Chains A and B, each alone.
Chain A
Amino acid sequence: MNKTINQKAWYFVIPVFVLVAFNAAIPLMTVVNYSFQETFGNNVFAWEGTRWFKQILLSERFHASLGRQFAFTFIILLIQIPLGIAIALTMPKKGWGVPICLILMSMPLLIPWNVVGAMWNIFALPDIGFLGHSLNAIGFDYNFTQQPGDAWFTTILMDVWHWTSLVVLLSYAGLNSIQPAYYQAAEIDGASRWATFRYIELPKMKKVLTLAILLRFMDSFMIYTEPFVLTGGGPGNTTAFLSIDLVKMALGQFDLGPAAAMSLIYFFIVLLVCWVFYNLMMKNEAQS
């Protein structure tokens, strides 16, 4: 077969090329530029090689915030995924309850992130907030602005409130795509509720759950706005997750070199974890 060669087709790619260049490649290259040099203002740069990378990778501060970040992400995934599936399983499948549930579920997702942070900040204040005041009234010594445990508890609760809906909606879509005949077949076999879930619903939801875990991992790993507004990373540094720490370093201390190096390391961690996770899931898929 003779293909006609028409190089003019490349013109159609130019808009995308320009767009990606301006919103991803060029800013990223600026960061790369900063990460290998020292700046002195007035556009004076001095070459530093991999010094900033070594410094970040060896710094205890980075280890601590990375540890906090992984702990936070792990905890919220551990809560949100099972909770999301559980809620999706109890949601009605038809009737007037469906739109109501769906709207209620999507509400938290529609609220701007800084508003979520501000809401929970006020909600959890120990003196005037409903949650904070109530907890203290029933005998808990709760103060998220001063006690690290309480700060973690509040941050996690806020994230669960904000994002579990996403897992619910995805699981619900997955559940709804299962043909009723599967349930009937299980019923005829005499399968228990648990067996139906384990051998029909869970395998059928695998794809949407992979997506849900990936999305929740990425989002929570890059979380910034909500904890920034809620706790500002405090008390002390106890809720300073990677992004909060990064902003402190870049804009608070104006350490542009190390901050740039940290950004790149941060970026590669997210990329790596997603890549490993996705491949593991797809490998499983290929096997079954």
Chain B
Amino acid sequence: MSLELKNVEKKVGIDTHIHPTSLKLEKNTINVLLGSTLAGKTTLMQIMAGLDKPTSGEIWFDGKNVTGMKVQKRNCSMVYQQFINYPNYTVYENIASPLAITGVKNDEIKQRVGKVAELLKLSAMLNKKPDELSGGQQQRTALARALVKDSDLILLDEPLANLDFKLREELREELPKLFEDRDCIVVYATTEPSDALMIGGNTATLLEGKVIQYGKTLEVYNRPENLISAKVFSDPPMNIAEITKSGDNCKFTNNNVQWKSSVKIKDGTYKIGIRPHNITTYKEGNNSVEINGKVQISELSGSESLIHFTNGSLNWVSLSNGTQQKNVGEDTKLYMNTDEFLYFDQNNRLVNNG
């Protein structure tokens, strides 16, 4: 069982919503579609579900061409950012609804709903109406509706976006476990790189209707094929600067920071991508170099400190562990871990590939 998109393209009027895309999703995998708003995540999911038809290209499921097949005939379910439940049904009836429509026997419905409700901690609320539940419970109900059906394809369209922070964390941890022993393909759309890392599986980075890279989540994160993919998969935003390399010596174009690099690439100018957590107020790794900066913004988020600073004409973002109080305008020293630098050539392709 696999879901394959073959050169799928979606145009609405003169706008191209999805550029020709080929993607193969395997059985028993969770696949994250990562990209900002309007990157085409929802459109792509609707095409996968059969809610929307591609302008050109084909969709194959389980070895069969299902392009243009109606959503009712495919065995899929979907969870949305908004908490979508039938308003005047109880939680039990809501979860049972997809089964009742397909004519499953009452005893079986009861048993299956009970099981899913327990999994999602809804057992105590089966007789309530969605309006009486908290946002988290409403979304759990929607998830239960998607799970109870035993679909081949489960689509989750930013399911945690409307939840408050704590509930989001809680449900995000549970999600991968929910799908563990299921014989299905899960597609999870999100705007947050941290969601993708937490969920694992595979990730496809998207930008402006194009799939930039698809692969194992950690691989995509650690070894982005190109600068765009690296940018999409980085939050806070990645630092990018131009460097020149001659022999083992590397140097930023805009300042005097130098370091030795063992990366085996030709001499010349490159772009460097540095994730914010690789610029810190303390030394990390054996090959760190110092950089001077003037603090622009300094904010604490939980147990991490985000410091925006300028060096020469460039703006940098750094993320350090612990609470590092800095004053705005202060001159400070930071350290960059050169082992974690990503080198991109003039065509924005990653060159220090493994």
Instruction: Check: B124 CB closer than 8 A to any chain A CB.
Output: no
Proximity bits, B81-123, A CB within 8 Å = 1, else 0: 1101011110000000110011000000000000000000000
Proximity bits, A184-203, B CB within 8 Å = 1, else 0: 11011111000100011001
With contacts A181-B80, A288-B129 known, is A187 near B72, CB below 8 A? yes
Cα-based distance from A204 to B82 in the complex (angstroms): 15
Cα-based distance from A195 to B86 in the complex (angstroms): 11
* B131 touches which of A184, A189, A288 (Cβ 8 Å): A288
Min distance, Cβ B52 to any Cβ of chain A, angstroms:
10
Within 8 A of B (CB), among A145-160: none
Instruction: Check: A130 CB closer than 8 A to any chain B CB.
Output: no
* A179 touches which of B78, B82, B97 (Cβ 8 Å): B82
Min distance, Cβ B17 to any Cβ of chain A, angstroms:
16
Instruction: Check: B66 CB closer than 8 A to any chain A CB.
Output: no
Min distance, Cβ A259 to any Cβ of chain B, angstroms:
46
With contacts A190-B72, A190-B101, A288-B129 known, is A185 near B78, CB below 8 A? yes
* B98 touches which of A179, A190, A199, A288 (Cβ 8 Å): A190
Which of B49, B84, B98 is the most central at the interface, judged by chain A CB atoms within 10 Å of its CB? Answer: B84
Instruction: Report whether A189 and B84 are in contact in the complex, using a CB–CB cutoff of 8 Å.
Output: no
Min distance, Cβ A52 to any Cβ of chain B, angstroms:
48
Set of chain A residues within 8 Å of B89, measured between Cβ atoms: 199
Cα-based distance from A111 to B89 in the complex (angstroms): 42
Which residue of chain A is the closest to B46 with respect to CB atoms?
A184
Set of chain B residues within 8 Å of A161, measured between Cβ atoms: none
Set of chain A residues within 8 Å of B77, measured between Cβ atoms: 188
Within 8 A of A (CB), among B311-347: none
* A181 touches which of B84, B86, B131 (Cβ 8 Å): B84
Instruction: Report whether B51 and A188 are in contact in the complex, using a CB–CB cutoff of 8 Å.
Output: yes
With contacts A188-B71, A188-B78, A189-B97 known, is A182 near B129, CB below 8 A? no
Main secondary structure of the interface of A (DSSP, over half): helix
Instruction: Report whether A188 and B49 are in contact in the complex, using a CB–CB cutoff of 8 Å.
Output: yes
Which residue of chain A is the closest to B149 with respect to CB atoms?
A189
Cα-based distance from A244 to B81 in the complex (angstroms): 55
Instruction: Check: B76 CB closer than 8 A to any chain A CB.
Output: yes
Min distance, Cβ B229 to any Cβ of chain A, angstroms:
29
Chain B interfacial positions (CB closer than 8 Å to A): 46, 49, 51, 71-72, 76-78, 80-82, 84, 86-89, 97-98, 101-102, 129, 131, 145
**Other A-B pairs, 7, CB within 8 Å; known A184-B46, A203-B86, A288-B129:** A179-B82, A185-B78, A189-B98, A190-B101, A191-B97, A203-B87, A203-B88
- List 9 A-B pairs, minimum CB-CB distance, nearest first: A190-B72, A181-B80, A203-B88, A203-B87, A185-B84, A189-B98, A199-B86, A181-B84, A190-B101
Pairs A–B under 8 Å by Cβ, sample size 29: A181-B80, A181-B81, A182-B84, A184-B80, A185-B78, A185-B80, A185-B84, A187-B51, A187-B71, A187-B72, A188-B49, A188-B72, A188-B76, A188-B77, A188-B78, A189-B97, A189-B98, A190-B72, A191-B97, A191-B101, A199-B86, A199-B88, A203-B86, A203-B88, A204-B87, A288-B87, A288-B88, A288-B129, A288-B131
